[in-house]
Amino acid sequence: MAASWAGTADLSLDRSTEKLPFWRVTSSFFPVLGVQPVLGRVFTAEEDLPGALHVALLGYALWRRRFGGDPGVAGKTVRLDGEVYTVVGVAPCWHLPPWFRWLPE
């Protein structure tokens, strides 16, 4: 089982800000879906705990567009809604499996 919350956030890079859609997900999200990152790693169970450092996986399209596909992006920091996050990986371009269903709100 995994949980996710959809929303938007302001990404601040190079003196510019862009509003982006994002998902906050539990560490089990990617393993449940069988998704491996293109680069870096997925979230750890320790990162789900209160007080853990802020970490982020970049979406593949964002990584290509705003980071030029930099293979060294893991370990860099970004600002989301004014908070500093460390990039731990890049999620692949992928589609949800046919069996995946969102629960009603």
Q: Cα angle vertex 33, ends 85, 23, to 5°?
A: 35
Whether 96 maps to a domain, the answer reads no
What is the rounded distance in angstroms from the CA atom of residue 4 to the CA atom of residue 28?
10
Tens of pLDDT along 44-82? 999 999 999 999 999 999 999 999 999 999 999 999 999
Domain that holds residue 78: 4-90
Q: Kindly report the pTM of this predicted structure.
A: 0.86
CA distance 18 to 37: 23
In this structure, is residue 97 part of a structural domain? Answer: no
What mean pLDDT is predicted for residues 74-97? 89
In which band, very low, low, confident or very high, does the pLDDT at 104 lie, cut at 50, 70 and 90?
very low
The residue with tokens 């938007």 is: 8
Number of domains present in the structure of the chain: 1
